[in-house]
Structure 1
Amino acid sequence: MQISNAHVDQQRIAWVDVLRFIAIFMVIAIHCSDPFNVSAEAGSNPDFNYWGSIYGAALRACVPIFVMITGLLLLPVKMSMGEFYKKRLLRITVPFLLWSVLYNLFPWITGLLGLPPTIISNVFAYAAKDSSQSLASALVQISLIPIKFNVYTVPMWYIYMLIGLYLYMPFFSAWVEKSTSGQQKVFL
C-alpha cells in the first residue's frame, strides 16, 4: 500500500486543531441559539430573545478564531499569486456559486410546485412572508451573487468573507514578509 506524500510535508499543530474543534462546536451552538432570536416565539416572549442573544454573543468569537487560524496557517503565502488563487479560490467558489444559485432558485421552484409564498419565509428566516416566486426575481438575485448576499444566501456570508480574505492574502503576505516584528505588533 502506497501512502500519498501530499500531506506528509505539512506538520499538524495540535493546539490549532483543538482550537478549530472548539470553534466548530461554537458555530454549532450559535446555530442552535439562532431560533431564539428569529422565531415567532422570540417575538412574543422577550426571554427567548434575551437568552438567545446572550448565548449568541458569548459564542460569536468563533468567526474571528477561524479567521486567525486561516492567517496563521496560510501567511506568509509561499506560492505564486496565481497558484494560490487557483488552489484556494476554485475550491470554494464552485460550491459557493452552485449553492447560491440553488438557494436563489428555491422561491421559483416553490412557485412551480404550487406552494404558497409563506413556505419561503418558513425556510429562510429573513425572507418576507409574501416573497416573489417569479423566475425574473430569482434571476435578478442570481445576477447579484458576485456583489452581495441576500435573504436566501445569508448562510453563505462567511464564504463572501473568506473569498475576500483569500483575494487580499497574497498582498498582505508581501508586507508580512518584509515588515519587522515591531511593525507587525503596531499593526496588530
Structure 2
Amino acid sequence: MYTTECVYSNDYSFSFPSELGRWSVCLINGFVRPAVPLFLIASAYLLIPLRTDTKTFFRKRFMRVVIPFVIWLFMYAVLPGLWGEFSNEEVKNNLSHIFINFIPRASHLWFIYMLLGIYLIMPVLSPWLERVSRREEEVFLGIWLFTTLFWHAHEIFGDVFGECWWNPYPLFYYVSGYVGYVVMAHYIRKYLDWSTKKTLYIALPCFLVGYLFCIGSFYTRSFTVEEVRQLELSWQTTSIAPVLMSFGAFMLIRKITCARARIYKAICDVSAMSYGMYLMHMLILPYVFGICNPVMSPPLAIFATAIITYVVCYIIAKLISLFKFGKYIVG
C-alpha cells in the first residue's frame, strides 16, 4: 500500500498547464498524503514494544533496510549516466555527494534517512512506552498535536519557542516530528479497540476533514505562491491535516479483513517486494510519465503512470529476489 501511495504522490507537476491538471494534482496527491505516516504507524504498530534485544533489532534493520538503501544510493548516482542522463563529471560528483546526502535524482530516499533515525530511537522509546500510563501517553500526543500547527505558525510568526539560527532544537523539538506517529501507533494498539460503528463515526470524519483541508489549502495557495515548499505547506506529513487523515485511514484499514487465501498470499507477496519497489521506482517513473503525459489527460496520465510503474517495479523486484543475493538489493 505504501508503495502504491508513493508512486502516486511522486507523480505530479507544479507547472499546471490547465485547470484540469491543477485539480488532478490537488485531488489525487491530496488523497495520498498519509503515505509516509501510514508506513510509520504500521511499522511501529508491529514493532513496538520491541520483542528482541537491541543488537538483534539493529542487525535485522541493517540487513533488511540499510544494505539495499546503500546499494540504491550508488545506483541512482551511476545508472542514469549509462543512458546519457548524467555526464561522467556529474557521475563523479554524485558519487562524492552520496556519502553526505541523497542526490536530487533520488530525492525520495529522504524517507529512508528519516526511517533509520526512527529506528535508532526505538530501543529507547519502547521501554518508556511500556512504563507510562494511558494518561501520560495522551499528554505526549496532545503536545505533539500542538506541534503539528507549527508549519502554519511559522508563516505568521517566523521562529517560535526558542528557534534561531544558532539553536535548531527549540522547546518542542524533541516531542515533534515523525516520532509522534510511533507513539500514536502504540496508543492505538494498546487502547483503541473500537467497534466498526464507532470507527466509522470517528475515523471517517477525521480522514475527510484532513483531506478537505489539504486540497482546499493546496488549491488556494497554487494561485499565490511561487515555491514548491510553500505550495506543499498544508500537506506536510507532520502537519495537522495529514495527521488527521493518517489516523482516520489507519483506523479504517484496521477493520479490513481478508479471508481468501489467494488474496492474502498475493498481498504478502507484494508486501515482500514493496521495499525494493520503493527504492527503484524513481528510476522508472519519470520515463513512464514522459510517455503517458503527452498523449493522455492529466488524471489518466497520473493513474496510468502509477499503474505501469507499479507493475514494472514489482516484476523487476520479483526477478531480483529470485537470486541468492537478491535480498541485499530489494530487501
User: Is 1:173 equivalent to 2:126 in the alignment?
Assistant: yes
Q: Which residue of 1 aligns with 2:116?
A: 163
Q: Secondary structure at the match of 2:82?
A: helix
Aligned in 2, Cα 1:29/1:183: closer, same or farther, shift over 3 Å?
closer
Report if aligned partners of 1:75, 1:173 keep a CA contact under 8 Å in 2: yes
Q: Which residue of 2 aligns with 1:28?
A: 4
Aligned in 2, Cα 1:34/1:50: closer, same or farther, shift over 3 Å?
farther
CA distance, structure 2, for counterparts of residue 53 and residue 160 of structure 1: 27
Q: Secondary structure at the match of 2:39?
A: helix
Note the alpha carbon deviations across 1:22-74, whole angstroms, 9 max, x for none. xx0x6525524644426xxx443343133212211121113212211111111
Query: Residue type of the partner of 1:47?
Result: L
Query: Residue type of the partner of 2:71?
Result: L
Aligned in 2, Cα 1:48/1:27: closer, same or farther, shift over 3 Å?
farther
Counterpart among 61, 64, 67 of residue 34 in structure 2: 61
Please, which runs of 5 or more residues in structure 2 have no aligned partner? 142-331
Counterpart among 21, 29, 36 of residue 48 in structure 1: 21
Query: Residue type of the partner of 2:72?
Result: W
Note the alpha carbon deviations across 1:74-94, whole angstroms, 9 max, x for none. 111122111110112321111
CA distance, structure 2, for counterparts of residue 102 and residue 27 of structure 1: 19
Map 1:102-181; keep pairs closer than 5 Å.
Answer: 102-110=75-83, 115=84, 120=85, 132-134=87-89, 135-144=91-100, 148-181=101-134
User: Size of the alignment, in residue pairs?
Assistant: 140
Query: Residue type of the partner of 1:153?
Result: A
CA distance, structure 1, for counterparts of residue 109 and residue 12 of structure 2: 20
Q: Secondary structure at the match of 2:104?
A: coil
Please, which runs of 5 or more residues in structure 1 have no aligned partner? 1-23, 121-130
Query: Residue type of the partner of 1:66?
Result: F
Identity %: 26
Aligned in 2, Cα 1:95/1:34: closer, same or farther, shift over 3 Å?
closer
Report if aligned partners of 2:49, 2:126 keep a CA contact under 8 Å in 1: yes
- Displacement after TM superposition at 1:187 (Å): 1.1
Aligned in 2, Cα 1:34/1:73: closer, same or farther, shift over 3 Å?
closer
CA distance, structure 2, for counterparts of residue 70 and residue 181 of structure 1: 21
Report if aligned partners of 1:103, 1:153 keep a CA contact under 8 Å in 2: yes
Query: Residue type of the partner of 2:109?
Result: M
Task: Supply the RMSD in Å over aligned alpha carbons.
Answer: 2.3
CA distance, structure 2, for counterparts of residue 159 and residue 137 of structure 1: 21
Report if aligned partners of 2:9, 2:32 keep a CA contact under 8 Å in 1: no
Counterpart among 69, 81, 86 of residue 96 in structure 1: 69
Aligned in 2, Cα 1:139/1:168: closer, same or farther, shift over 3 Å?
same
Higher RCO structure, 1 or 2 (CA under 8 Å, sep 6+): 2
Note the alpha carbon deviations across 1:123-180, whole angstroms, 9 max, x for none. xxxxxxxx65414212222322xxx322122232332222112111111112112211
User: Is 1:78 equivalent to 2:43 in the alignment?
Assistant: no
Q: Secondary structure at the match of 1:88?
A: helix
CA distance, structure 2, for counterparts of residue 86 and residue 169 of structure 1: 14
